[in-house]
């Protein structure tokens, strides 16, 4: 019986010592100071002087491609003007989806000049109305100009509508 008490006491003491060490480690972790890193990596756009900046003017904000057959590609040439005070440069053109591809002229558009974008849209195999956004990164004061294209996809599959679950009875 004495042996059982001694073994139990030894086991209890060793558990107490081990658990104390864990708390010490946690306290040490809590006491360490975090490293402060104030350097932030950012892509800085050069600031544009409004007095000499170009201004991109689109004829409209939404361009309608009309009815487009499912699986086919529609194309539209979109013209714009530079009504600013300096040459207009389009640095990048990208769409909100891979099915829409904007292509642009790399040459600067002079003051009072006109530029062109060709936008290609590949319709999915599913019928319905779609809206996509095209973003132009430019050297204007805003830095980004956007417009939308819309289309009505026809001749494809009908959209499958998932059944709506009934509302729970409360």
User: Is residue 11 in some structural domain?
Assistant: no
Residue 120 falls within a domain, yes or no? yes
- DSSP string over 6-57: HHHHHHHHHHHHHHHHHHHHHHHHHHSPPPP-------PPPP--TTT---EE
Greater confidence (32 vs 167) lies with 167
Q: Does any domain span residue 165?
A: no
Residue 26 lies in a domain: no
> Is the pTM above the cut of 0.85?
no
> Given this model, what pLDDT does residue 164 score?
77
Total number of domains constituting the chain: 1
Q: Is residue 2 part of a domain?
A: no
Domain containing residue 84: 56-154
24 part of a folded domain: no
Does residue 60 carry a pLDDT above 80?
yes
Please classify residue 29 by burial: count the beta carbons closer than 10 Å to its beta carbon, then call 0-12 exposed, 13-18 middle and 19+ buried. Answer: exposed
pLDDT higher than 70, residue 9 = no
pLDDT of residue 170: 72
> What torsion, rounded to 10 degrees, do the Cα atoms 47, 48, 51, 55 define?
-150
Q: Does residue 64 have a pLDDT over 50? A: yes
78 in any annotated domain: yes
Confidence of residue 160 (pLDDT cuts 50, 70, 90): confident
Within a domain: 124: yes
CATH code of the domain in which 102 resides? 2.60.40.10
Helix or strand (DSSP H, E) at 3 = helix 2-31
Helical spans, DSSP H, in 38-168 = none
Round to whole Å and give the CA distance between 63 and 72: 18
As beta bridge partners, residue 118 has 77, 103
Over range 92-112, report the average pLDDT: 95
């Amino acid at each position: 019986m004495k042996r059982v008490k001694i073994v139990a006491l030894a086991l209890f003491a060793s558990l107490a010592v081990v658990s104390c060490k864990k708390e010490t480690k946690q306290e040490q972790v809590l006491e360490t100071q975090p490293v402060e890193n104030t350097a932030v990596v950012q892509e800085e756009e050069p600031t544009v002087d409004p007095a000499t900046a170009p201004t991109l003017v689109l004829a409209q904000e939404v361009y309608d491609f009309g009815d487009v057959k499912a699986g086919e590609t529609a194309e539209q040439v979109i013209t714009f003007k530079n009504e600013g005070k300096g040459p207009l440069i389009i640095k990048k053109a990208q769409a909100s989806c891979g099915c829409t591809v904007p292509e642009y002229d790399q040459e600067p558009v002079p003051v009072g000049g006109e530029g062109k974008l060709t936008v290609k849209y590949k319709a999915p195999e599913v019928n319905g109305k779609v809206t996509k956004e095209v973003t132009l990164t430019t050297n204007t004061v805003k830095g980004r100009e956007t417009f939308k294209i819309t289309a009505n996809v026809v001749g494809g599959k009908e959209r499958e509508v998932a059944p709506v679950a009934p509302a729970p009875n409360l």
